[in-house]
Amino acid sequence: MAALAATAPGAEYRAFHERFIADSLPEDLHYLRRSERYRLESLLPGARTLLLFAYPYRFPGVEKKLRRARYKIARYAWQKDYHELLKRKLGKLLVEFSLSGRAVTDSAPFAERYWARRAGLGKIGRSGMLMDAQFGSYFLIATLVLTDALKTPPPPQAADPASDIASLCGECRLCVEACPTGALNGDSTMDAARCISFRTIESRADVASLPPPIRRHNWIFGCDICQQVCPWNKSVFAAEEFNAEHPLADQLAQGVLPESRSKLRGSVFHRRGVTKLQQNIAAVGIAASGK
């Protein structure tokens, strides 16, 4: 956990974000244009303190299932819907410590990676992922935005992504070289339209209709390739007692789809629905056949 006084995001973040949405933001990510992420007051009037938490999600049991899976699913998606899971955990903290505020995950217009970096939870790697010495990049960020004025340490001195990359990655470019679609630029930025995670989750386009370089892979929901090859993640595992695995993930990894979207409730697959999953599985089959 890290604590930080609630202030407006710095000018360097705003410039970076505005450059991203101007240069390479696909239409299906239009919600990232919302200017509310620059104003904590839009999340919670009177916000004074941020408490940021890292929730690790790489588990040995899931690794074993991934090795025998017919189709690949991003590791975070094997858990029960983290939006609900983390909000419940944070809600309990509000009650236990008599705090007033709002629990926030990435479903709200909040620059969680920026704030986590400013609070000292990690540094930005070449892939654009936030890296931590203990958890690598396999962790989710959850935040309590509080109206309580808690005593917080001064934030670490701000550094630009280039400095983070130099200290974390050095000359290593494994993530850039391993990305099968060439989505990573190597400077912590990416071409989102080429990203497998975007194409298999956020994009409304049928993956099978895309050019072969963007669809020839075995991932049907998300992608962990840039994380898998990262040396920081080589031996990173979370304790099994934190595992809240959803049984549906193992079924989908074998290509077994539920008969209706309602069966996807409680998982991150629910928002995308059965049709999108069907399209993703079909696209993998088309790519395997060489079409």
| Residue 106 annotated among the catalytic residues of the structure | yes
> What does the DSSP 8-state code read for residue 190?
B
Q: What angle do CA 75, 120, 236 make, to 5 degrees?
A: 30
> How is 216-260 classified by DSSP, letter by letter?
-SSEEE---HHHHT-GGGTT----GGG--B-HHHHHHHTT---SS
Query: CA 82 to CA 246: how far, in whole Å?
Result: 11
Which two tokens mark 94?
């509000």
Which two tokens mark 206?
């049928």
Give the DSSP H or E segment for 273. Answer: helix 273-288
> What does the DSSP 8-state code read for residue 229?
T
Largest CA distance in the chain: 60
Query: CA 22 to CA 271: how far, in whole Å?
Result: 26
SS3 123: strand
Give the DSSP H or E segment for 253. Answer: helix 247-253
Phi, psi at residue 143, to the nearest 5°?
-135, 140
Query: CA 9 to CA 188: how far, in whole Å?
Result: 19
SS3 92: helix
**End-to-end Cα distance, the chain:** 48
Q: One of 28, 106, 148, 191 is an active-site residue; which one?
A: 106
Contact by Cβ (8 Å): 124, 164? yes
Q: Considering only CA atoms, which of 124, 290, 138 is closest in space to residue 215?
A: 290
Catalytic residue IDs = 106
